[in-house]
Amino acid sequence: MSAVLELNDQALSLYQDGQLLASSPGYVLSIGKQPQFGVQAASQSRLHPVSTNNEFWNRLSMSPLSRPVANFRHYADMAHAHLLQLGELADYEGPVVLAVPGNFNREQLAILSGIVRHSPFTVSAMLDSGIAAAAGSNAQADYLVYLDLQLHQAVFTVMRKEGQRLVRQQVLQTQSAGWDAMSNALVQTVNDEFISQCRFNPQHSAQWEQQLFNELPQWLSTLAAGAHEIVVEIETDKSTHKASVSATDLRESISPALDKLSQQLLQFSDVDASDVPLLISSRSASIPGLVQHFGQQKQIVSGEQLAHSCVQLLNDLPGNETAVPYLTSVNLRTREQATKNEPQPAAATHLLVDGSAWPLNNQPVFSQQELTELLQKHRLGELINHQGRQLQLIRVHHGVG
């Protein structure tokens, strides 16, 4: 079975047989003899800002760099080296289906095809990420919208039914509302609380600031589990500083970015955007308050679900293709088959109620019979409207892994 490579500079992710083999954020750090990519580079980006670049996927081109970076001539060289690193990290060499963001233009798609040919991967097909996400969803509507966060922007992919096909109609990009901007806002809020509570400013040291960014994924996991606050500690040579930051303050810090997303969605003028089901990538859904910010019907799409859809959609390809096909539409019958054949997702362990995660065997909302019916009807991650409240089935992990 082909592996699936999802291209998103927040984290390139390689899947096989429904499992994540490796992921690597789109960062390169050029210090020392060999450039470093992925987590190694991202985890030092605040320590070496001048030597770090995280724009090579977003600005993929073969234009010469204005400032030399290691031995790279242009951003395409960086992207190629990143693919080599990902193949080594995953210990994988072979066929892949590429899930590509809808904002890639023709020139970038051509460059991508070229650099992948000289990587450990052989491309079986390229698919629009939004189409792949829609193919794996059970949302039924004439229009669908897929929201995904990249490092530097958010991307809405608008799709509609045309006869027996679901077709990509429009791609909307929202600058300064990507993962990087939201991460900066969240970290700044934590930094401000250190100043307020401890009279200690982590931004006075690149090392302390880097620690905050490196701990961000842990904060998001804590909030996703229903915590009302996070507690952050920084140990210096002289003392240990501790700050408590409320989930409310963290959500408010990114409200300007979320408002930008809402305004961008209003530019979709064919129908009332509030009536269009919204598919949200799981990476986007991890941002506190993002899912709740939108009022329409919503469904969270995991990377594993998207990868499974990509493999299933290979059945929609004609068998006599000489060039690598690029799918921006899907046969609705193929979509139904992809949904039908989708493997069972990991089981939910908790019910998220008003920001608190309740174990399924001790939640205050449903009887046992109602809970059984709920689990049969709804997916992990799907938002549930119940008596004016929004609930969510989630899976809570304890520890690392």
Q: What is the mean pLDDT of residues 297-321?
A: 82
- My answer on whether 329 and 367 are in the same domain is no
- My answer on whether 379 and 318 are in the same domain is no
pLDDT (0 to 100) of residue 320: 56
- My answer on whether 326 and 379 are in the same domain is no
Residue listed under structure tokens 């938002």:
383
Amino acid identity for residue 359 in this structure: P
Q: What is the mean pLDDT of residues 14-27?
A: 94
- My answer on whether 307 and 400 are in the same domain is no
Distance CA 100, CA 8 (A): 8
Whether residue 229 lies inside any domain: the answer is: no
The bridge status of strand 229-235 relative to strand 165-175 is unpaired
Whether residue 178 lies inside any domain: the answer is: no
- My answer on whether 334 and 368 are in the same domain is no
pLDDT (0 to 100) of residue 322: 60
- My answer on whether 98 and 42 are in the same domain is yes
- My answer on whether 326 and 395 are in the same domain is no
Whether residue 126 lies inside any domain: the answer is: yes
pLDDT (0 to 100) of residue 138: 77
Q: Mean pLDDT score of the chain, rounded to an integer?
A: 88
Q: How far is CA 273 from CA 57, 157, 279, in A?
A: 29, 13, 13
pLDDT exceeds cutoff 90 at 74: yes
Model confidence pLDDT, tens digit, residues 187-199: 999 999 999 999 9
Task: Give the residue numbers spanning the domain of 97.
Answer: 3-140+303-340
